Structure 1
């Protein structure tokens, strides 16, 4: 059986490690071998090695520039809630052990981790300091960078990460001799990448050189390095401008812009780079055969132009996006999904019979009293939507968009957006079923079997004490159009009249419904803003509020009021179902008990 020293020597003798966690794996194997017969002190030391090499680092090449965070972080969170390994929990005994190992090891890969960790956490150890660690760290990381980028290993990204660390520490220590060691490798890699047209790695070389440019030795490193890098970036940006991957060229133009902020380009040249990024997205949009893809890349261009202030391009992108979405709506890219379900006809008929009675006054009163039967309960829909989400978790990673009349009116970007989207989908499905299976059949049967007429509906609506006299004539006209089968006229009258009726009802109860403009001018709040108020939602109740919201103003819902108001309503949306739903809203107001508002009525302080 191998001794502990032999096992550790095997790790020391490994000629190459791609990642530190590979070294951690070697020490884990040693722990498994010696845990039965190893003494506690030996196990503790090997455990320290395992923990040290299991630490993760914050990647400086992908971390936002200007953010200085702790270099080391944990690998996982235990079931106890603790983080492992915790870089802050290594005591002085452990740090001294790492210091001894740093001085003794012959492996550049092991020495790099010991010195790197001690540089961050071991500055207070007796007989040691950051300069001592830096003298071990920089050559180790430079050697690792050279090894990683050799053709034998071809792991340039890890090599560039190590090179970045070597130069970062050189600059932190303000040590020009250490910096020169890293610059030698930078120069060699830059020549290699330019010669072989390995353009993707140039961005990371550029980041390293810009870090030097902002440091204490900006005037001392070879200017030809900077000039060669900038010229190569410009070549790469132009090369990728017509590439099939639209996000590559903008990254190179962004690097050129960063050099511009260091005063190596004029403001006009920076502006030109910013414009070219937008043009990359535009060209890519024009090459797409898919209208969805066209719209996506025109949107990317528009967002970029918006951020950079290219107003003249924004308007053109709006037109292009609308054209793409309008073409999409009539293309075969859009698929209609139908879900068939069986509804027990006899049971539905029995429910309908409860409302289809000879006494029309009582029939309408029963609809009002039992109004909750005709639209969903929010808590039930929320629960069902949540169950559906849990059953299909991968869907939460997909962006969902809503398109209406050639416009994207909604897109999910956060987990809350996804949950809201799932809720609305389930709500609309539930509401549509209740409308087609109960609400519309009840009204139609009352009309055909019991001779329900417009005067019966109007009488019931007008008996509500909060119906304003200004609304009554128009509501009456809208109801009459419903009974005459004029659903276009009905929709265009009753949708805005419901908004006005509801707003004036709250006015009559003493609620403010206006917003102040300059000169004490008062304007009525938009219906969206009115419904978003907490006091209004509390008065309506969550179930009735959501019904009004999704029928009238929410763009994820039917948005009837806004579409009527802006002339966007389609003739197919002016139908029996929607008009019946709006008349139902008027009737349901009869069961609404609006509480008195909470207003500050204290007299002015003398």
Structure 2
């Protein structure tokens, strides 16, 4: 009621003394509420006080009020039990402290406070990951798919033919189908309309956030269908790895011997692999046939980046950036894939796959997670990692098939 009356008084002319009197009274009320751990109500009063001090240009009291608001977020976080809630309040505290002008930060030790809050936010993030529960549903019977996949690759006279069939198990992710499926999901999805979403990394960092769609005045955000499409693509790839790639891989290894030398021979004549990279690419593929997918993607993912960079350079696309000192620095894969020329050069589905698996935060983000040493023992051998090993083999085999077709047409 006090706040309502204060808002009503704003419709009338108030002198500075009246404004200060209300502000001081509300500050006292906020202090009492904070002592009762009612920080939400306390902040309502303090936010009103902050606007009043700003209106009369009382910078000192405005600054102290902003610090009280930030401090209330921190104190409320300390009394909460749920780690995800703690994360939210610590983050709000940090954002509130960042509103303090740089000129006043050293006086109040703001930078040191923010540094301490970031450590608390990190610990809360780790605890939030531990608090999460696994929701499982009964898996459908996929024995017929597994059996068909094994039958698809067995009984082939040569290894080359077996690999050709192995790479033909699945056509790959379709961008258009993933987008269409995502849009349909968003149309009928109730949860996404009612609740927002926070995406945490394996070490507890918040790497993504979406507001409830029903709260958006502009409808569905532009990037939302793409993000949902990436989610769908990753789930589809996981299913393919489990039901087709892994069973057929075991069948091939029972019938054929895979040697590093043989893979080097294949990669050396592959038109898509740049010079002096055949042995590195072949070794990455070989590790996959040894079920060492951790080593496989550590070798293959950087080679994908080099392939993209090489193809763009050959198309006269700038792949570097000049800094203030005129130093020419290579762009990372994320920047390369976002270039408008990339949409014209690369196949639409392949570009979508590279973005979904290698660089987008909603996907496994293999390139960036690998480059920064963030992949642990489990995720480095995930279905996504296995899929990208198989996708690398498919890239080589398909390019060789296209080369044979081109040579046949020329002859």
Q: Which runs of 5+ in 1 are unaligned?
A: 1-197, 594-606
Take 1:338 and 1:449, find their aligned partners in 2: how far apart are those partners?
A: 35
Take 2:325 and 2:83, find their aligned partners in 1: how far apart are those partners?
A: 48
Take 1:251 and 1:521, find their aligned partners in 2: how far apart are those partners?
A: 50
Alignment partner for residue 312 of structure 2, among 499, 506, 527? 506
CA apart distance, 1:455: 3.7
The normalised TM-score by structure 1 is 0.58
- Give the match for residue 322 of structure 1: 122
Query: Compared with structure 1, are the counterparts of its residues 340 and 535 closer, same or farther at alpha carbon in structure 2 (3 Å cutoff)?
Result: farther
1:268 and 2:60 are equivalent in the alignment:
yes
1:396 and 2:202 are equivalent in the alignment:
no
Take 2:65 and 2:174, find their aligned partners in 1: how far apart are those partners?
A: 53
1:453 and 2:259 are equivalent in the alignment:
yes
1:251 and 2:44 are equivalent in the alignment:
yes
Take 1:501 and 1:200, find their aligned partners in 2: how far apart are those partners?
A: 62
- Give runs of aligned pairs for residues 334-483 of structure 1, distance below 5 A: 334-356=132-154, 357-368=156-167, 370=168, 373-404=170-201, 405-413=203-211, 415-416=220-221, 418-483=224-289
Query: Compared with structure 1, are the counterparts of its residues 246 and 375 closer, same or farther at alpha carbon in structure 2 (3 Å cutoff)?
Result: farther
Contact 1:281 1:297 in 2 (8 A): yes
| CA RMSD across the alignment | 2.8
CA apart distance, 1:253: 2.2
Query: Compared with structure 1, are the counterparts of its residues 283 and 509 closer, same or farther at alpha carbon in structure 2 (3 Å cutoff)?
Result: same
Take 1:537 and 1:545, find their aligned partners in 2: how far apart are those partners?
A: 7
- Give the match for residue 204 of structure 1: 7
CA apart distance, 1:276: 0.9
The structure that has the greater radius of gyration is 1
Give per-residue Cα distances to partners, 1:196-223, cap 9 Å, x unaligned. xx433354145335xx24xxxx5xxxx7
Take 2:133 and 2:245, find their aligned partners in 1: how far apart are those partners?
A: 29
Alignment partner for residue 288 of structure 1, among 69, 80, 84? 80
CA apart distance, 1:348: 3.9
Contact 1:242 1:280 in 2 (8 A): no
Query: Compared with structure 1, are the counterparts of its residues 538 and 320 closer, same or farther at alpha carbon in structure 2 (3 Å cutoff)?
Result: farther
CA apart distance, 1:509: 4.2
Contact 1:202 1:233 in 2 (8 A): no
Give per-residue Cα distances to partners, 1:413-455, cap 9 Å, x unaligned. 3632554443333222111101111122222321222333344
Query: Compared with structure 1, are the counterparts of its residues 490 and 271 closer, same or farther at alpha carbon in structure 2 (3 Å cutoff)?
Result: same
Give per-residue Cα distances to partners, 1:271-295, cap 9 Å, x unaligned. 1111111101111111101111101
Query: Compared with structure 1, are the counterparts of its residues 254 and 206 closer, same or farther at alpha carbon in structure 2 (3 Å cutoff)?
Result: farther
Query: Compared with structure 1, are the counterparts of its residues 469 and 491 closer, same or farther at alpha carbon in structure 2 (3 Å cutoff)?
Result: same
Take 1:578 and 1:385, find their aligned partners in 2: how far apart are those partners?
A: 19
The total of aligned residue pairs comes to: 381
The normalised TM-score by structure 2 is 0.82
Query: Compared with structure 1, are the counterparts of its residues 542 and 242 closer, same or farther at alpha carbon in structure 2 (3 Å cutoff)?
Result: farther
Give per-residue Cα distances to partners, 1:281-339, cap 9 Å, x unaligned. 111111101111101111111222223344333322221111001012223xx111123
Take 2:27 and 2:385, find their aligned partners in 1: how far apart are those partners?
A: 61
- Tell me the secondary structure at the aligned position of residue 208 of structure 2: strand
Take 1:410 and 1:438, find their aligned partners in 2: how far apart are those partners?
A: 31
Give per-residue Cα distances to partners, 1:354-383, cap 9 Å, x unaligned. 334232223333455x47x25332222233
- Give the match for residue 524 of structure 1: 330
